[in-house]
Amino acid sequence: MTMSESGGTYIDNFPAEARVVRSALYSSFLALALGGLFGIIQTLHRTDIYRFIESDMYYTVLTAHGVFLVVTFTIFFLVGVFTWAVTTSLDRGVEDIRFTWLWYGLMTIGTVMAAAAILAGFTDSIDMSADVLFTFYAPLQAHWLFYLGLVVFVVGTWLAGADWFRSWWAWKQENPDERIPLPTFMVLTTMLMWYIATIGIAVSILVFLLPWSLGIIDSVNPTLTRTLFWFWGHPVVYFWLLPAYMMWYVMLPKISGGKLFSDPLARVVFILFLLLSTPVGIHHQYLDPGIAEGFKFIAMTNTMFLLLPSLLTAFTVVASMEHGARQRGGTGYFGWLKALPWRDPVFAGMALAGLMFAAGGFSGMINAGMNINYLVHNTLWVPGHFHLTVGTASALTFMAATYWLLPQLTGKALWNRSVALVQVVLWFLGMTFMSNSMHRAGLLGIPRRTAEPQYQGFEFEAGVGSVAELDFQLALGGALLAISIVLFLANVVGTAFNGRSDDLPANEFAETLSGPEDSPQVLDNLKLWTAIAVVLVILAYSFPLMSIVDRGGLYGPDISPFPVSIETLSLLAFTLEQYTTAAIATTGEFVQTTLTGVIR
Amino acid sequence: MKIHTYEKLWLGAAMVLIVALIATITYGAVGLGISMVDDEEETIDPDALDEDDRFNDPRVEHVGENEYEAYVVARTFMYQPDPIEVPANSEVTFYVTSTDVIHSFSVVGTNINTMVIPGEVSSMTAEFDEPGEYGVVCNEYCGSGHHTMEGQLHVVPEDEFDMTELEVEGDDEVAEDDEVTLNVSVENGMLDDLETTIEAEIGEETFEEDVTVEGDSTYETTITVDAADLGEGDHDWSVTVDDYEDSGTVTVVDDLEDDGGDDDE
Amino acid sequence: MRVSKEALLIILAFIAPIIVELRTVLAWANIELTVLESVVLGLAIVALVLVWAFFPEDESSSETPERQLSNGD
């Protein structure tokens, strides 16, 4: 299943698209540079190794670090790599390149707006700030420009999704009997998840936070906006992760020298993410008062089942790597590991990222455990966990993938492969130190998101070693990561200034051992899976949301809740009923089709 | 759908792991009785905490044998009361609320950890077997002084713990032909009776009274001494109940400046 | 060289987490190391790996072919 008949690089086949993808990637790397800079400032500040900002400014730095890295860096990379995946796997350009530039432009404008609001916090001369951190929990309030920027950014991503669906629909007209190519399938399911997830943030900002920051409404219900945040806040972590998964599925097997083990299972995995990513957000609120234990339990169960697609991915990725290694002459139970192309930074980066993700997965299981979570909630353990997931599984995979993509997008050879290899290994090392010490510190009860975790009245006690050692380890890790980012950016800039090369591999992705023909057609029925996903979200969220509105009022305790909330409740109930009926009808229809398909 | 045998095995093992994880957590909740912060508490108006019986005076209350309730208010950037004092070998239910933004109430090194959301009351019950001192931190970002928000929880040995409060009101200045009075009130916050001795000293004079203060009540008494017996000048006084002491000074003057002699018979 | 430079880099990277947490693991066995001791131990392990990697496999094999290999790919 390879693509371009021409066999050229991406820029040869899609020069116009290559420009957009390149722009998206460069935007992403700019955010990485800024976010990384803020990251090292923070690391040195909170460990009390070098402090040159006031501690209250730490929170401006932290907001910028969070927003630039987990929103701008990751999502700009995502739109770039998804555009590459759709155009490559459908072997057709986008339908209208002006539309593509439009969504890229919206995302950029949104970023600039939010960034302006955040960075204005550094100076008192502008009466604007957004020191609300990435989670912007009300009643903490940011300048309205921050919220509006996020809205514009998200609308940009919605249009990006529309662009890819448009390509797929056009392709389907011409290829009515073909299965959706795997990379496109992954892009489409991820975007469907995103459309469902962003409902939460859209309602939270448009109905509550933006009017509130503009002074149109007086108050908000903090539990409600917090719950709506996590409605989006958990699936967004899969939005960061799924582009990395996609690269592990469609790129890593090829780089390893083999084929993807199973196309059907890859589809199943992405469907599971579409279904289960959203109805789990309440697991971030295990410690919140005002939410019944039962709702927390449901979220916990869903979360545990969400382990399944990740565990399946672990299997498929390792099996594909082993296949590649054996094609390269590897033998033995573990001996094949030696035959893998470790000197290739694309491979080494992705493999190391996958390995760290396994560790992150284990600490994630702890977080998901409803009662054990009380020990670690909001301690440094949590950033320790997500620096392994978004900070390594996603970030390191993106960087490794860049070493393959950048030559495709520019037609220029990578500036320096040895520097690239050192860079990915440094990331692995730095993250080992940093996330290890963060996990350890979290177990001692040291809180996250704190400028100075050094208190007057008591001291944290370490079981083995000391808090000072953990601080040193954390700072050392942070420093290695900062160096790694510098090396990465140097390679990107060096490549951009290289001359054109004729000696580049063709733009292809991995073939499969077991192709789509081995899987039932129903896997490609996106309407069915979307309908089920919507039903699951309604089941998981309708009652908690109704109960929160009922308790605290739609607009908080200040405004008397009754006329609004009763209306809303019945409206919610009505919507719920409608959706369920519609979903059941669609499900029935599709089950029927599937059954006839299978029987035949 | 074609699934490789190894894949099936892996799939099976993954499902076993997932179900086992859910089972252990369910066991923790049902078998061990680890309960979660939930919606059992009524909502509260965060702007009117001073009208609320529990939170107008943040404190610890004795509610049953070895059972205590702590009403804690979190606000930028402090906790009330601070320190929270409870005895060892007790079961304490914490009720925590916020007056402003979202905080947390996290007792370092324990699983007493909850979000504190304005408008909601978080309740958690914990058992303290041993004496100890714990730090309390806010681990939810609450504004520019977030890192200074801390408190303390003292678990004191059972035999050193009481909820006695001694308050004494004494005159500052008394005429020589008048009486020096000390109004003593001993409050017993525990539910059990408190048997103790009120000891007082005014100048050279000493008094002693054995009292029984009933549970959850206040005993009041007045100690008087003729000013003439003390003589003109400054006299230190002190009142002691167990480890509590209140003291002051009274001045006996020859004659009050502008007294018409009508303030006493 | 017994392994390529790149492979050596990866091996050393994999050893890092082990060295970092060796002290904790040993503490379970009631062997308490100071920071200095564990740094020395870590360096000793790294030195051992380096000696293993650079020590020629046997006299006859010269380093030249490996060099070329490591520059290849």
First to last CA, chain C: 18
Interface residue A463 vs chain C (CB under 8 A)? yes
Q: How far is B63 from chain A (nearest CA, A)?
A: 23
Task: Please tell me the predicted confidence (pLDDT) of residue A346.
Answer: 97
Which residues of chain A neighbour B37 with C-beta distances below 8 Å? 286-289
Interface residue A493 vs chain B (CB under 8 A)? no
List the one residue out of A390, A331, A399 whose CA is nearest residue A361: A390
Which residues of chain C neighbour A462 with C-beta distances below 8 Å? none
The whole-angstrom separation of Cα A462 and Cα C32 is 14
Helix, strand, or coil (residue C27):
helix
Which residue among A290, A296, A457 places its CB closest to the CB of B120? A290
The whole-angstrom separation of Cα A481 and Cα A33 is 11
Contact B119/A557, CB-based, under 8 Å?
yes
Q: The tokens of C33 are what?
A: 């190391």
User: In this structure, are residues C13 and A349 in contact, taking their beta carbons and an 8 Å threshold?
Assistant: no
The whole-angstrom separation of Cα B55 and Cα B59 is 8
Q: How far is C60 from chain A (nearest CA, A)?
A: 23
Task: Please tell me the predicted confidence (pLDDT) of residue A598.
Answer: 45
The whole-angstrom separation of Cα B75 and Cα B60 is 18
Establish how many alpha carbons lie within 13 A of residue A280's alpha carbon, considering only the half-sphere containing its beta carbon.
Answer: 26
Contact B108/A445, CB-based, under 8 Å?
yes
Interface residue A66 vs chain B (CB under 8 A)? no
The dihedral built from the CA positions of residue B54, B57, B60 and B63, taken in this order, carries a sign that is: negative
Which residues of chain A neighbour B137 with C-beta distances below 8 Å? 445, 447, 455
| Helix pair angle (A562-599, A526-552), 10° resolution | 160
Which residues of chain A neighbour B36 with C-beta distances below 8 Å? 286, 293, 296, 370-371
Establish how many alpha carbons lie within 13 A of residue A507's alpha carbon, considering only the half-sphere containing its beta carbon.
Answer: 29
Contact B2/A139, CB-based, under 8 Å?
no
Amino acid present at A275: L
The whole-angstrom separation of Cα A526 and Cα A513 is 24
The CA–CA distances, whole Å, from B140 to A157, A565, B101, B106 equal: 30, 29, 10, 10
For residues C22-42, average pLDDT: 87
**Residues written for chain B:** 265
Q: How many CB atoms are closer than 10 A to CB B28?
A: 16
User: In this structure, are residues B76 and B53 in contact, taking their beta carbons and an 8 Å threshold?
Assistant: no
Q: What is the pLDDT along chain B (265 residues), one digit of tens a residue?
A: 778 888 899 999 999 999 999 999 899 888 888 888 999 999 999 989 999 999 999 999 999 989 999 999 999 999 999 999 999 999 999 999 999 999 999 999 888 999 999 999 999 999 999 999 999 999 999 999 999 999 999 999 998 999 999 999 988 888 888 888 899 999 999 998 999 999 999 888 889 999 999 998 999 999 888 888 888 888 899 999 988 999 999 998 886 555 544 444 4
Preceding amide of A516 cis, omega within 30:
no
Helix boundaries (H) for A176-327: 182-203, 210-213, 222-233, 235-250, 252-256, 263-276, 293-305, 307-327
Task: Please tell me the predicted confidence (pLDDT) of residue A562.
Answer: 39
Contact C27/A463, CB-based, under 8 Å?
yes
**How far does Cα B259 stand from its chain's mean position?**
44
**Chain A residues 91-120 with CB within 8 Å of chain C:** none
The CA–CA distances, whole Å, from B159 to A511, B90, B130, B155, B214 equal: 75, 12, 12, 12, 18
**Residues written for chain A:** 600
Residues 6+ apart with CB under 8 A from B178: B227, B264
∠ Cα B253 B255 B260 (to 5°): 140
User: In this structure, are residues B179 and B186 in contact, taking their beta carbons and an 8 Å threshold?
Assistant: no
List the one residue out of B200, B35, B263 whose CA is nearest residue A292: B35
Neighbours of chain B (3+ CB pairs under 8 A): A
DSSP lists the bridge partners of residue B248 as B237
The dihedral built from the CA positions of residue C55, C57, C62 and C64, taken in this order, carries a sign that is: negative
Task: Specify the residue for token string 């719950």.
Answer: A227
Q: What is the DSSP letter of B195?
A: E
Q: The tokens of B68 are what?
A: 């205590």
The whole-angstrom separation of Cα A533 and Cα A7 is 38
Which residue in the list A45, A46, A65, A234 is annotated as catalytic?
A234
Beta strands in A431-588 (DSSP E): 512-514
**How far does Cα B193 stand from its chain's mean position?**
19
Preceding amide of B83 cis, omega within 30:
yes
Q: Can you tell me the ipTM of this complex? A: 0.87
Helix, strand, or coil (residue C54):
helix
List the one residue out of A117, A46, A87 whose CA is nearest residue A187: A87
The CA–CA distances, whole Å, from A46 to A56, A122, A176, A387 equal: 12, 18, 58, 16
The whole-angstrom separation of Cα B255 and Cα B233 is 12
Q: For residue A378, what is the nearest residue in chain B, using CA coordinates? A: B139
Contact A428/C13, CB-based, under 8 Å?
yes
Q: How far is A315 from chain C (nearest CA, A)?
A: 21
Condensed to tens digits (0 to 9), the pLDDT of residues B77-117 reads 999 999 999 999 999 999 999 999 999 999 998 889 999 99
Q: How many CB atoms are closer than 10 A to CB A594?
A: 16
* Interface size, chain A vs chain B, as Cβ–Cβ contacts under 8 Å: 206
Q: How far is A80 from chain B (nearest CA, A)?
A: 32
User: In this structure, are residues A148 and A210 in contact, taking their beta carbons and an 8 Å threshold?
Assistant: yes
Interface residue A261 vs chain B (CB under 8 A)? yes
Q: The tokens of A11 are what?
A: 């820029």
Task: Please tell me the predicted confidence (pLDDT) of residue A502.
Answer: 87
- For A331-355, the three-class secondary structure string (H helix, E strand, C coil) is CCCCHHHHHCCCCCHHHHHHHHHHH
Phi-psi region of A332 (alpha: psi -120 to 50; beta: other; left: phi over 0): left
Helix, strand, or coil (residue A482):
helix
Task: Specify the residue for token string 């017993």.
Answer: B188
Which residue among A131, A287, A378 places its CB closest to the CB of B37? A287
Q: What is the pLDDT along chain A (600 residues), one digit of tens a residue?
A: 444 445 799 999 999 999 999 999 999 999 999 999 999 999 999 999 999 999 999 999 999 999 999 999 999 999 999 999 999 999 999 999 999 999 999 999 999 999 999 999 998 888 899 999 999 999 999 999 999 999 999 999 999 999 999 999 999 999 999 999 999 999 999 999 999 999 999 999 999 999 999 999 999 999 999 999 999 999 999 999 999 999 999 999 999 999 999 999 999 999 999 999 999 999 999 999 999 999 999 999 999 999 999 999 999 989 999 999 999 999 999 889 989 999 999 999 999 999 999 999 999 999 999 888 999 999 999 999 999 999 999 999 999 999 999 999 999 999 999 999 999 999 999 999 999 999 999 999 999 999 999 999 999 988 788 899 999 999 999 999 999 999 999 999 999 999 999 889 999 999 998 888 888 899 999 999 999 999 999 999 999 999 999 998 898 865 443 333 334 444 555 555 555 555 555 555 555 555 444 444
Contact B39/A131, CB-based, under 8 Å?
no
Amino acid present at C45: I
Interface test with C, best of A255, A328, A343 (most C CBs within 10 A): A343
Preceding amide of A231 cis, omega within 30:
no
Q: For residue C38, what is the nearest residue in chain A, using CA coordinates? A: A465
Interface residue A565 vs chain B (CB under 8 A)? no
Active site residue A377: no
DSSP lists the bridge partners of residue B250 as B235
Burial of A523 (0-12, 13-18, 19+ CB in 10 A): buried
Residues 6+ apart with CB under 8 A from A320: A249, A252, A253, A256, A258, A259, A260, A261, A510
Which residues of chain A neighbour B104 with C-beta distances below 8 Å? 287, 378
Chains C and B physically touch (3 or more Cβ atom pairs below 8 Å): no
The CA–CA distances, whole Å, from A440 to A139, A432, A446, B245, C24 equal: 31, 12, 9, 46, 11
The whole-angstrom separation of Cα B37 and Cα B27 is 17
The whole-angstrom separation of Cα A63 and Cα A119 is 9
Active site residue A104: no
Condensed to tens digits (0 to 9), the pLDDT of residues A186-208 reads 999 999 999 999 999 999 999 99
The whole-angstrom separation of Cα A434 and Cα B100 is 34
Task: Please tell me the predicted confidence (pLDDT) of residue A571.
Answer: 53
Preceding amide of B81 cis, omega within 30:
yes
**Chain A residues 538-557 with CB within 8 Å of chain B:** 547, 551-552, 556-557
Which residue among A290, A312, A379 places its CB closest to the CB of B39? A290
Which residues of chain A neighbour B121 with C-beta distances below 8 Å? 289
Contact B144/A131, CB-based, under 8 Å?
yes
Q: For residue A423, what is the nearest residue in chain C, using CA coordinates? A: C9
Which residue among A343, A432, A469 places its CB closest to the CB of C6? A343
Q: How many CB atoms are closer than 10 A to CB B216?
A: 15
User: In this structure, are residues A239 and A274 in contact, taking their beta carbons and an 8 Å threshold?
Assistant: no
Which residue among A133, A287, A458 places its CB closest to the CB of B113? A287
List the one residue out of A197, A159, A167 whose CA is nearest residue A184: A167
The whole-angstrom separation of Cα A75 and Cα A152 is 14
Active site residue A600: no
Contact B22/A300, CB-based, under 8 Å?
yes
Q: How far is A480 from chain B (nearest CA, A)?
A: 26
The whole-angstrom separation of Cα A588 and Cα A594 is 10
Active site residue A65: no
Q: For residue B150, what is the nearest residue in chain A, using CA coordinates? A: A455
Active site residue A385: yes
